[in-house]
Amino acid sequence: MEWGGPSFGGASTADLTLTAYDAVHDNPVWSDTITFDPFESIVMVLGGWSQNPADPVEFEGDHGLLDLAITQYRAGYNVYMYDEDEVLTFPYGGAGVPYDVIVNAINNQGISNVAIMGYSQGGGSTYDLAWRLNENVKANPTLNDITNPFSVPFTAYIDAVKDQDLVAEDRRPLLSEFHVSQYQRYVGLRGAPSGGDDDINVSYIPGINHGNIDDQTIVLDFLKMRWEQKVPVK
């Protein structure tokens, strides 16, 4: 077997060639090559309060965004799932394991596209995480954790809630090139418009509330469509 390929951005392509030989005549009789390409994108999916990422999900039919994350991972996306508490809020401003994973991916793994999405408090954590990424690239950066260029082509909220005060997260994530916010204004914690390219009030769905909005097929299908439009699969 042979490995090879050019290196770029801390990652590399690799060709795996398998060759079958005629042992009697010591001649190759068959070969095939598979080319492995490194990911250029990373997708961070943040569940809501008490939603623990697992495959399969902890409660079938009740962790819709995490179900979607698993589906997209199996389709080839570079997806990471986290509990929203992994993103630390004030006074830590988005620090934590997800941020560290993104920094390592950009600096050492050739990643240049970062997508972030979250449900409920995971939406608030989406804002916090994007805020911290922005601290690296604004005109007068306060952080210098990231050494390579990157973009945030896509962010999304499902009935997003601010981590600190449990009110609707109505701020568009910083750096986001395309933002989707789907929310309801009916029962319990309620979302709100957040300056999204798609700000969609789905309160018309019968029986919808904060607890089940992330399990609605129409909500997840729309998010999946925009995800696939805006984020490269590799």
Domain ranges of the chain: 1-37, 39-230
> What pLDDT does 186 receive?
76
Strands 113-119 and 41-47, how do they pair? parallel
pLDDT for res 27? 76
At 25 the pLDDT is 67
pLDDT for residue 35: 58
Report d(CA 15, CA 212) in Å as an integer: 45
- The confidence score (pLDDT) of residue 183 equals 97
* Amino acid 107: pLDDT: 97
Q: What is the pLDDT of residue 24?
A: 72
Which class is domain 39-230?
alpha beta
Q: Return the DSSP state at 163.
A: T
In a 3-state reduction of DSSP, which class is residue 179?
Answer: strand
Give the residue from 209, 194, 211 showing the smallest Cα distance to 49: 211
pLDDT of residue 85: 93
Contact criterion met (CB below 8 Å) for 208 and 217: no
Res 152: pLDDT: 98
Say how far apart CA 12 and CA 4 lie, in whole Å: 9
Residue ranges of the chain whose pLDDT lies below 70? 1-16, 22, 25, 34-37, 58-61, 187-188
Tens of pLDDT, residues 198-209: 999 999 999 999
